[in-house]
Chain A
C-alpha cells in the first residue's frame, strides 16, 4: 500500500465536497416503483429462488405491513415513502468473470474512482473481494484459495441456490423476520448480499471483504449478510461502503447475521462512508441497519465500526451471548458533521454463564450534527459471573452540535459486575496551543487529537482499514474548526 503523506492529506482536505459523489451510467434492470406481493414474487423468481425462500419473503412482507416505523431514536427526518422506491435493480450485463479483462470497463472505472482497484487489492492486501454494485455481486476473487479450505464465500442469492440447507437452517435465526420494521422490510425484499461459511476448525487465511455500493438512482439497497463460523473456526470480515451524491434521500436497510458456533470467533469490521448530505443538510443516505451476532459456548464476536457517512444512521450491532464463557465486543467511532444525525450503539445480551462484554464507543460531533450513543447491557438471571465494561466518550466541536448518551443497564443476577463510564468534553485549548507552538496548524492539530481520541478503536481495525479510517476521520471533520 502506497504511503500516505501529509501532502496527500492537504490535497485531500482542499476537496471539501464528498469525493465519491459520482454516478456511473450502467444500464440497469430496474423494477417499477412500489411494493406489493407481486414485486416480492418477481424479485424471488428473478433470483431463481426455491419456493421456501419466496414464502419466507412473503411472510416477512405480511408482518411488515402490520408494523409501524420506529420513532424512539433520537433522529429527525422525513420518513421515506416505501411505495416510491424501486426494490430491485441489477446491472444488466451480468457476466461471470474469470479475469478482470472481461469486466465492463465502465465498472472498472468506478472502482478506480473509489480507489479500490481490484488488481491492486488482490496483490497488495491479499483481500478476496466480493464486490456488490447495486445489489448483484459481479466479481469474486480468490475463490479458489478459499475453496481449498472449504470456505464458502459468495453472494447470498448464489448461496440460496447452491447451499439451500445451510441458508435455510440459519437465516432469520439471529434477526427474526419480525424483529423490527426495517429487518422485516429487508427480509421481504433483500436483493443480494454476502454469505460466508467457515467449516469446522478452519482459520480463514485472509480477510474477507465486501464493498457495497449504492448506484442506480431511486433504488434502495437491501443487503442481507449471513456469516456462519462453524465450531473452532475463525474469520475476519470487512465491510466498507461509499455511495454517489444524490439529492433525494436514499434508503438503506441492511440485515447482518453472524453465527459463531462453539469455540468460533468472528471479527466484523465496518467502515461506512455513505453520502452524508451536503453542507446544507440536503440529500444523504438513510442508514437503518440491523446487525446481530449469536455466540455459542466459548465463542467470540467482535464488532468494530467507523461511521462517518449517512445523513441518518440507526444502527446497533449486537451480541447475544448465549453460550457459557462467550465474549462480545463492540468498538465504535461515530463521526457526525454538518447536519448528520447518528443514533448508534450496541446491545449485549448476557444469557450464558461467565460471559464477558466490552463496549468502547467514541462519538465525535461537529457542525450542526447530533450524535447519540444508545446501548443496552442485559444480564439475565442465569448469567452467573457475567462481566461488562462500557465506556462512552463524546467529543464536541462547536456549540451547535449535540452529544447524547442513552445507556440502558438491566441486571437480574447478583454475581454480575457492570461498569459504565461516560464522559463528554471538547478539544482543549491547551492541546491546540501545544500543537500550534510546535508548528502544527490548527486543522492538523485537530486531526491529530481526534486520532488520539479514537485510537483505542482504530487499533482494533485490520491494517488496511485503519489507514482508510484515519483518512476518513480527517476528511469528515474538515472545515469544522471554529
Chain B
C-alpha cells in the first residue's frame, strides 16, 4: 500500500520537526512500529467488514502541509456555534490558529497539545493519560506516531466550566490532498462538568482525510457532554477514534450528528472502570448521494451497577450506505448492569444500503441487556394524516423524519446545538420546517 510506505518514510522527516528528547517520543516510535506491522485495516477484518478504506487511501496525501493560510473569522463563522460564548480551539490544516481561538489557563486548561507535550508542568498529566486508553490498532497507532497537535483540556476538581468548548479543525485545500491527524486529550477531574463540541470542516473540494484520536478521562462523579457535528463536504473523509475512560459515578454522553462527508467512520469506545457509571451514546445520521457513514461502538462494562444507553437513528437516501456495529461487552464481575442499544433505520431510496450488527457479549448473569434494531419506512397512515391536512408531501416526509430523529435531539443539553441541528436537518431534507425548537 503506497500511502502506508509514504507515512512510514515521512516519520523520519517528522522526527526532524519535533523534539525527539521528550518522553512522548518513545511512545511515538513504538506506535509507528505497530502501524508498520498492522497497516490500514482491510475488509477482511470483522470490524471493517462493511467499510472499505481503499477509495479513501488512494489519494496522494501530503502529510506536512504548508500553512500560510489566513482565514477570516467572518468567512468561517457559520461553522461555529457562534450565538453563544464559548472557548475555542481552532486549527487550520493541523496548525493552531490563534486569531480564531479563545483559550484559557484560568482555573482550567484549554490549550494546545503541542504545548502540553513539551512544557514540563503538563508532564504529570501527559505521563498518566496520554495514549493510555487508546487502543493499539493500526489507525490509532498511526495517529499516535504523528501526534503533535490538537486540543488539550484539563479541568481540575470541583469545577463546572461556565461555557462550552469548541474544537474546530479546518482544512483549506492549499494542498491537492491532505491528511490530518489531530490528537485531543481531555482530562476531567472529580466532580467537574464540561461540554465540548467538535467539528471537522473542509473549506474546498480537495480531498482531505482526517484520522483523529480523542482520549477522554472522566474521573469520579465527573460529567462530560461531547457533541460531534459531522457535516463536511463530499471529498472529505473522517476516521474518528474516541476512547473514553470513566471512573466511579461519572456520567458521559457522546452525541454524533453525521450529515455529510465522503466516508465517515466513528470508532467510539467506552470503558467503565468503576461502579454506578452512566454512559450515553446517541447519533443521528442523514446522508444521501454516495456517502458512507459507519458507527462502530463499544461499551465495555467492567464493574457492577453501571448503565449504558445507545440510540442511533439513520435515514439513508440515494446510493448512501450506512453501517452500525454496536458492541456491548459485560464482564462477569459486572453484575446488575443495564445496557440498552437501539438502532433504527429508514431507507428512502432503492439504492441505499444499511448494514447493521448490534452485538452483545455477556459473561455476567444478573444483567438486563437488550438491543433492538429496525429497518423500515415512514408510516403510511401518518403520511396520510398529514397530507389530508394540507401538508405537502415533501414537508410531511420531513416532519416525520424529524420526529424520527427527535429522540436523539431531545437529550442535547445546549439549545443552540439543537437549533443548529434542526436547521441542518431541514436543509438536508430540502424543506423549511418552519419552527425552531
Beta-carbon contact of B348 and A403 below 8 Å: no
Q: Which residues of A contact B375 (CB under 8 A)?
A: 379, 409, 411, 416-418
Answer yes or no: B358 CB below 8 A from chain A CBs.
yes
Per DSSP, are chain B's interface residues mostly helix, strand or loop, or mixed? strand
Beta-carbon contact of B348 and A399 below 8 Å: no
Cβ-closest chain A residue relative to B371: A422
Q: Which residues of B contact A404 (CB under 8 A)?
A: 359-362
CA–CA, A72 and B46, complex, Å? 9
Answer yes or no: B347 CB below 8 A from chain A CBs.
yes
Q: Which of A79-87, A185-193, A390-398 contacts B (4 or more CB under 8 A)?
A: A390-398
Interface centre among B365, B367, B369, B377 (most CB of A within 10 A): B365
Scan B308-352; emit 1 where CB is below 8 A from any A CB, else 0.
000000000000000000000000100100000000010111111
Cβ-closest chain B residue relative to A375: B357
Q: Which residues of A contact B353 (CB under 8 A)?
A: 410-412
Per DSSP, are chain A's interface residues mostly helix, strand or loop, or mixed? strand
- Residues in A398-420 with C-beta less than 8 Å from chain B: 398-420
Beta-carbon contact of B377 and A402 below 8 Å: no
Beta-carbon contact of B373 and A418 below 8 Å: yes
Answer yes or no: B47 CB below 8 A from chain A CBs.
no
> Which single member of B347, B355, B360, B361 contacts A408 (CB below 8 Å)?
B355
CA–CA, A394 and B352, complex, Å? 32
Q: Provided the pairs A415-B377, A420-B373 are in contact, do residues A408 and B357 lie with their beta carbons within 8 angstroms?
A: yes
Cβ-closest chain B residue relative to A424: B369
How many chain A residues sit at the interface, stated as a range, is: 35 or more
Beta-carbon contact of B356 and A409 below 8 Å: yes
Closest Cβ of chain A to B261, distance in Å, is 22
Q: Which residues of A contact B359 (CB under 8 A)?
A: 404-407
Scan A28-66; emit 1 where CB is below 8 A from any B CB, else 0.
000000000000000000000000000000000000000
Q: Which residues of A contact B163 (CB under 8 A)?
A: none
> Which single member of A402, A403, A415, A421 contacts B370 (CB below 8 Å)?
A421
Answer yes or no: B368 CB below 8 A from chain A CBs.
yes
Answer yes or no: B376 CB below 8 A from chain A CBs.
yes
Answer yes or no: B372 CB below 8 A from chain A CBs.
yes
Beta-carbon contact of A398 and B365 below 8 Å: yes
Answer yes or no: B366 CB below 8 A from chain A CBs.
yes
Q: Which residues of A contact B370 (CB under 8 A)?
A: 421-424
CA–CA, A425 and B372, complex, Å? 15
Answer yes or no: A161 CB below 8 A from chain B CBs.
no
CA–CA, A94 and B297, complex, Å? 59
Answer yes or no: B208 CB below 8 A from chain A CBs.
no
CA–CA, A419 and B350, complex, Å? 19
Q: Which residues of A contact B360 (CB under 8 A)?
A: 394, 403-405, 422, 424
Beta-carbon contact of A402 and B363 below 8 Å: yes
CA–CA, A176 and B198, complex, Å? 50
CA–CA, A407 and B375, complex, Å? 14
Beta-carbon contact of B374 and A419 below 8 Å: yes
CA–CA, A414 and B357, complex, Å? 18
Q: Which residues of A contact B357 (CB under 8 A)?
A: 406-409
Q: Which residues of A contact B366 (CB under 8 A)?
A: 399, 426
Answer yes or no: B97 CB below 8 A from chain A CBs.
no
CA–CA, A411 and B348, complex, Å? 12
Q: Which residues of B contact A (CB under 8 A)?
A: 46, 332, 335, 345, 347-377
Q: Which residues of A contact B (CB under 8 A)?
A: 72, 379, 381, 394, 396-426
Lowest 4 CB-CB distances: which A-B pairs, in order?
A: A396-B365, A414-B347, A418-B375, A420-B373
> What are 28 A-B contacts defined by CB distance under 8 Å?
A381-B350, A381-B351, A394-B360, A396-B365, A399-B335, A399-B366, A405-B358, A406-B357, A407-B357, A407-B359, A408-B355, A408-B356, A409-B354, A409-B357, A409-B373, A411-B347, A411-B353, A412-B353, A413-B347, A416-B347, A417-B374, A418-B374, A419-B372, A419-B373, A420-B372, A421-B372, A423-B368, A424-B369
**Extra inter-chain contacts (4) besides given A410-B356, A417-B375, CB under 8 Å:** A413-B350, A416-B347, A421-B371, A424-B369
